[in-house]
Amino acid sequence: MLNRVVAGASSVIVAATAVFLSAPAATAAEGVLDAPSLPIVRTTGGVALPTSYPVQPTLTEYPADPTDASINRGAVPYAEIAPALNDLMAESDYVSAQIIGQSEQGRDLYLVTVTAPETPTETAQQTAWRDAIKHAPTAAAQDAAIAEGYKLPIWFNANIHGNEWEGTDATLNYIDQLVETAADPEVAELLDTTRLYFTVTANPDGRFNGTRATANGYDPNRDFITNATNTTTALRDITGLIQPTYFVDIHGYTGILQVEPCGPPHGENYEYDLFLPHAYSAALAVEEAVVAADIPGNTYDDGTGRPTTENTGKILIPYRDIRSGWDDWPPIFAPQYVAYQGAITNTVELPLGRVNNNPAQNQFNSAVDTEVAEVVIDSIIDYVVENRDPLLENQMEIFERGITGAEQTPIPADIAADDLEPGVPTEWTDIWDETDIYNATFPRAYVIPVDGSQRSRSDAEQLVEQLLVNDIEVTRATAPFTAGGTTYGAGTFLVDMHQPLRGLANVLLADGTDISDRIDSMYDISAWSLSLLWGADVVSVGNTTDPALSVTVEPVTTADLGGSVAEGGPYLSLEPSGTAEWQAITALLDAGIPLSQLDDGTVVLGKDAASRAAAEEAASLFGVDFAATDGLALREETTTSLRSLAVGYTTTDDRDVLLKLGIDEPVLVSAALLTSGAVDLSTLDVLFLGGNLAFTPAQSAGAAALSAYLARGGDVVARGSGGATFGVTNGLAQLTATTGTSGSNGIVRVDTPEGSLFGPSAQDTAFIYPATWFSALGEGVTVEQSYAADTFVSGHWATSPGRSTVDAAGQASAVSSETEAGSRFFLFGTSPTFRNHPVGAFSDIARALYWAAGPGTAVVPPITEDDLTDDTKTGVSVPEEATAGDTITVTVDAAFAGQELATTLFSEPVVLGTRTVSAAGTFEVTIPADTTAEVHRVAVEDAAGVLIGWDDITVLAVEVPGKVPGEQPGEGEPGTDEPGTTDPDGAGPAAPGDDVAVTGANDPLPLVGLAGALLLLGACLVAAKRMRAAAE
């Protein structure tokens, strides 16, 4: 995690060639690795609510800009918001403001709080009561002080879609009205008993630019469990701090004012018996207020769902009026996310939309929408004040059910008003039927292993970090334990489902449900499980009514377990099972560290000091683990060298996946950019296409540039039916692509064949929107993954001829190919980059990109005795003889002066260390004292591991009193055949002239005189050598 985070005989030929063609050594220095510019998990920004009220900083004011799109709409320009808030704070001590973050283009995100002033002691009491409501709801429900003194939090979120402006304008107007009427007893009482929170413009870039999306290209109201935007990250972080009892998200435009609750399917994990009655009753209260206001120019439902300016007394309420196609199924929208804090929530869609090329009409529509929104705000606040006690009781009951592990309370299809407790709103019961019934079964816990049973430890840690930033309680086992018949090790993460936010925890971690047969169509996505899409193995254990697991745990505040680099080796290896490993690989390659990949996906680093230092840094930065290896697999197996990548992309999703993998400065590619010459494809290694790349007749120059790229072997990774069209059109692969039913989306099972590029750690699930599969595969097209026989896990995939789950089953979901020109082509049929949510698939993307890009600088394999041939016996000289334990001088070419060279003693390789070469081309190494007395070979390598040369040396044994020279401890015992004195055939003593191997044997020297002479000779040689060394 980010801390913030040809085999066989031919290998001999390759190794021998490397002796003469020296590869560049790794060049990385300490501290040179870069973390990705975009994190996958956006940690909290340290936002905190004030410790007393008011807090009134002077907000930075920005110069007016006539290009602000708000102006043409007739809405408040962004530059006028800060001055307005500064004026309000100057006028009243009821108004506080703070900056909770910044947009992608650097604009401030404002949170305004309107409440009666509080001392630090009073604010601390409010905070304590808030926490008691969530974490001790049973006691809180009995606490009269909370009932009397807790300031009920009501939150209005405005302008999350940038070109839906009027929520901001209405918010500013409403705050101004509160300030102007603060002396009114009713207003004073309101501000004494509530805190009114306003996120004034949640998407200021979109407001300024006139776009629905944020400046980085995402719809923030689809981003609440992924957090690809600054907007949702900031809103996520304050959600638990505010802990609203009521939340309203103001949008536009639907032709008629529309106020949720939604129609089915309803999110399974809500306590819907507590949520729906007040959500619907409040919507009816808004309807009544807007109808009574009779705002000129406003529209109403004509009875058929069409707008009319005649006041018919009716707006649109999806639960009542839109029974299909406007649902609260996924937690990706602001109200559906915030509801897990025990809040009642509504999305409000203002009526009158944008009109092209008609400023006057736009300004009229904006004025009407602003007035309608003010009525909405006022009527919601009135409703909350009137229903304060039951709303707070509901919130505490939701938390209580989570903490105690109570099962949900199902609502029967035939529910009647008389079935409800006194005081519970009843209007909704007339509509409820069997199509509304969706319930969840909660497990006792989710277990996230980190031992060998886990597919990816780094992905598991990443998943836990995402849970933590969403305020999910996570613990870590401090000892081994058994759950569901499986034993898990210490360090295993657990999500005990007896917790206040159990609904949010379950909606994030459960597999989801296949609702294809229950509903005709969905408003948006229908599956999102982090357990199945974020790369980690997650195990559901037991039922919510089971006793707690028998395990000792500690709370987790960060998932980072740290990385490691094993001692020994001397090579290092990395198993790229998760996204963090691919981030590390990208950073290492960008820093100039050579990497080679084995057939099983393992990535090997060289044995040089720079590679090890970079690995140490990568382990710390990314939390990944490097193992020690002897590197022999580099000689014995087929390997692929990896290279630093320059990638072109076509979509926002693809761009950000690249950035999150650490592939910096990806290049936007389009037909127009290629035609204009703004993009030079010769600078790119791979094209990463989110669809087809087609050209009009007027864009022939761009088409020619693409053709030239492919003709010289340019590589492509693509996805979907558009990517298939590109591949077929440009001769990269012959196949037929079929897409699933329009609008189908969800999580599918996939099978990965042995030998696939995805490797042995491939996931068995993937996201689709929709699924695409490939058939009629031409020659040279390889299936890398297929849809499983039991294809669909969760989501919505309606049946249609030839496009259903049964048609996808067994068909290819990912393929690869290579053209005669050398272009490599990889094609995904799944949706691995969708809104940047399927994080586990990022590893698959990385594998495809690095495979497509082709070779880089290979890691030099280790030197073995096979490399020490007559041809390579050059460039190195050592003394002819030396005594074990002695220090010798090694001489190489003076051109190596100043370089660090490594020395190894063969036959059994013994590393003698790395030394710096002197100006004269020499350095010293020590022969180990336990070296056998025989002829050895001294081999010298450069920093990249390339053999410079070698030389023979005869090692003489150290004389030990009472021992025969050359005799090893324990040898030569009386009455035994002494090693070194037996004929190789085992027939008897070896005679002079017998063929006794030099390496690994001790020649008998039975004559004391000969032994003495040899010792004397050895001493003379040592003395002479030392004299030479001293002279140098």
Catalytic residues: 386
Residue recorded with tokens 């990535």: 603
Question: Strand order in 445-448's β-sheet?
Answer: 539-541, 445-448, 493-496, 475-477, 553-555
The span from the CA of 745 to the CA of 742, in Å, is 9
The span from the CA of 1009 to the CA of 876, in Å, is 34
The amino acid that residue 987 corresponds to is A
DSSP state letters, 809-848: TTSEEEEEEE-TT--EEEEESS-TTGGG--GGGHHHHHHH
∠ CA 587-588-594, rounded to 5°: 150
The amino acid that residue 345 corresponds to is T
∠ CA 567-936-10, rounded to 5°: 70
Query: Of the candidates 239, 246, 240, 241, which has an alpha carbon nearest to the alpha carbon of residue 152?
Result: 246
Residue 269, token pair as written in the block: 């994990």
Return the DSSP state at 102: E
CB 386: neighbour CB atoms within 10 A? 11
Cα–chain center distance at 223: 14
Residue 306: is it exposed, middle or buried by C-beta count within 10 angstroms (0-12/13-18/19+)?
exposed
CB 432 within 8 A of CB 413: yes
CB 156 within 8 A of CB 114: no
The span from the CA of 457 to the CA of 447, in Å, is 13
- 34: helix, strand or coil: coil
Alpha-carbon Rg for the chain in angstroms? 36
Residue 763, token pair as written in the block: 């996931």
The span from the CA of 564 to the CA of 562, in Å, is 7
Angle between helices 81-91 and 166-180 (to 10 degrees): 20
CB 622 within 8 A of CB 1: yes
Residue 587: is it exposed, middle or buried by C-beta count within 10 angstroms (0-12/13-18/19+)?
buried
The amino acid that residue 289 corresponds to is A
CB 247 within 8 A of CB 282: no
CB 493 within 8 A of CB 463: no
The span from the CA of 237 to the CA of 218, in Å, is 19
Residue 758, token pair as written in the block: 């995805």
The span from the CA of 477 to the CA of 560, in Å, is 15
